[in-house]
Structure 1
């Protein structure tokens, strides 16, 4: 069998087995997050709002928890006269008791913020129906 001359021969095409990419639904959501589409922006905005709401709620807890103590001492001056281990109660509560309280609120914030992020990750990874 003779080969056709160079002018009449069709161009040779090399066919390479292409990598088959199967995109899952969560891959699409990740792509939307990375490409900053409207859906991705809405998901991130929801996470930011959840974190902000958490921060504001815990700020109110701290403001009420620590702000109520001076108010208590102003309303009930007899509590100011109480001594515990030779230290007046206001100094003990505000000077010593506030640190464990703030540490507990900080721990709660970190724990709840991580839970918000885990919920966000679960939404991103959840397959669509």
Structure 2
């Protein structure tokens, strides 16, 4: 009869490691992208996102100012020029025509222009970010 063999236990202590190269993996500049900076919220990424946010804020303020001066100026016009309060076109008061036929289409056009300009800003931002990703950054 043969005697049963017992499994051998590995020796206690640290295991041996075979080193084949002293080179360590490094991050090359071409592997690091602006998208990573933005995603990781680094200082550079915050600068780019802050620039986009400032551009969008300037756009929003311009649209608000145009709205306040053009549409908000109508009550001032009606108050300062009494003839506009009494004028009528085809029996309909002038103020009603202006408020009904000018204000709403103007507001829609301003909103449309705002959306287009905002999309253009975002497209330019995306182009800058993707341009900074390839080799030779």
TM-score normalised per structure 1: 0.76
Q: Are 2:46 and 1:41 aligned?
A: yes
The structure with the largest helix share of the pair is: 1
**1:92 correspondence with 2:91:** no
Counterpart for residue 126 of structure 2: 121
Runs ≥4 residues deviating over 2 A? 21-25, 126-129
Structure 1 pair 39–84 and aligned structure 2 pair: CA distance change class (3 A): same
Backbone CA RMSD of aligned residues? 2.5
Of 70, 74, 79 in structure 1, the residue corresponding to residue 79 of structure 2 is 74
Which structure has the bigger radius of gyration?
A: 2
| Partner residue of 1:53 out of 45, 50, 58 | 58
Which residue number in structure 2 is paired with residue 30 of structure 1?
A: 35
Query: Unpaired runs of 5+ in structure 1?
Result: 1-10, 16-20
Which consecutive unaligned segments of at least 5 residues does structure 2 have? 1-15, 21-26
